[in-house]
A = this chain, B = another copy of it.
Amino acid sequence: MRIAQIGPLYERIPPKLYGGTERTVSYITEELVRRGHDVTLFAAGDAQTKAKLHPACPQALRLVGKQELGAYLQLPMLSDVYESADDFDVIHSHIDYWSFAFAPFVKTPTVSTMHGRLDIEDLKPIYSRYKSVPLVSISDNQRLPLPFMNWVATVFHGLPPDLLTYSKGPGKYLAFLGRISPEKRPDLAIDVATKAGIPIKLAAKVDVVDRAYFDQVIKPRLALPGVEYIGEINESQKNEFLGNALALMFTIDWPEPFGLAMIEALACGTPVVARPCGSVPEVLRNGVSGLIASEFDDLVKAVKNIESVSRESCRKEFDTRFTADVMATQYEYIYHDLITARRNGSNPHARFEDGRSAAR
């Protein structure tokens, strides 16, 4: 299959540090290449890929301080994609709604995976203009703010199976991974750990917008005994950080669209203690791959009981549901359905209009 992948321009693909969307785009792309597809990746020129790379700008924008250009620089990239649409059997976009306006002008079908939260009122007029474009969600929960869209499937993120190695434990500390921000509730993770009397390590970046939160809410807690702040870590440090942990603390308080950190932990055999927000009840199975609880006391109890969840079953859950292989298989089905529907001249997704997909 001749496949165009359209990536965001903000982080390198794959990202050097933080960047969930760009990592997933990388995993999909490389797995499709591995399977023998003819894949072209439209992305910043520093992307590392075995696909054909079509550069939209020399370097990913965040680390060169030009992220405000991301939206505008997508226009020439979209021109490049859609003016050469006949060279592809399917176009797979990862840049929110940006492909929607171009897709109708070409014969090649486009599917767009939504990577972000969709509960932003101001963007509703944009989405509602394009109700028939085929969309993939990364959790069913992610769809809730936009039920009227043409959701053709939920495809969970997946990681290369050998990216992170299984660690049989026992874990030594609780781990917090990702971003220090109010909606991720690192404060709650620390308070739960402290109450349970278990050490906690935080490996997370602090964005400029979250600096005041870090200074006022998190910094004082870092002085507590058993609390250690490591800063932003890279992919190679992640395996050790997660593998040696007793549990990943995913004490979020926002509609997390997917939550890559959860499946990274599972790949290491590390269970997750999580609040049931966003994708959590879909990604985790209570007692099998983690413990889900909402309130402080229940979270403390979960942390104390976490060794009731087997590390082997966590890794097994990862191997069965969250590898790049599983993810790519689902996308292959979706591509195939789209191409067939377009060839038959029918609405490419009439069969999916109940909002669920054959690909699950």
Q: How many copies does the complex hold?
A: 2
Bound-state Cα–Cα, A104 to B76, Å: 12
Interface string of A67-110 (1 = CB under 8 A from B): 00101110110110011000000000000011011101110000
- Contact with A72, one of B57, B73, B102, B123 (Cβ below 8 angstroms): B123
Q: Check if A76 sits within 8 Å of B126, measured CB to CB.
A: yes
A129 interfacial by beta-carbon distance below 8 Å: yes
Chain A interface helix/strand/loop/mixed: helix
Bound-state Cα–Cα, A129 to B72, Å: 12
A66 interfacial by beta-carbon distance below 8 Å: yes
With both chains docked as a complex, state the minimum distance between the C-beta of A71 and any C-beta of chain B, in angstroms. Answer: 6
A354 interfacial by beta-carbon distance below 8 Å: no
Residue total for A at the interface (Cβ-Cβ under 8 A): 26
What 17 new A-B contacts, CB under 8 Å, besides A75-B100, A75-B129, A102-B102?
A57-B125, A69-B122, A71-B71, A71-B72, A72-B123, A72-B126, A73-B126, A75-B97, A75-B101, A76-B125, A76-B126, A76-B129, A78-B101, A79-B104, A82-B101, A82-B105, A102-B105
19 contacts between A and B (CB under 8 A): A69-B122, A71-B71, A71-B72, A72-B126, A73-B126, A75-B97, A75-B98, A75-B126, A76-B101, A76-B126, A76-B129, A76-B130, A78-B101, A79-B101, A79-B129, A79-B130, A82-B101, A102-B105, A105-B105
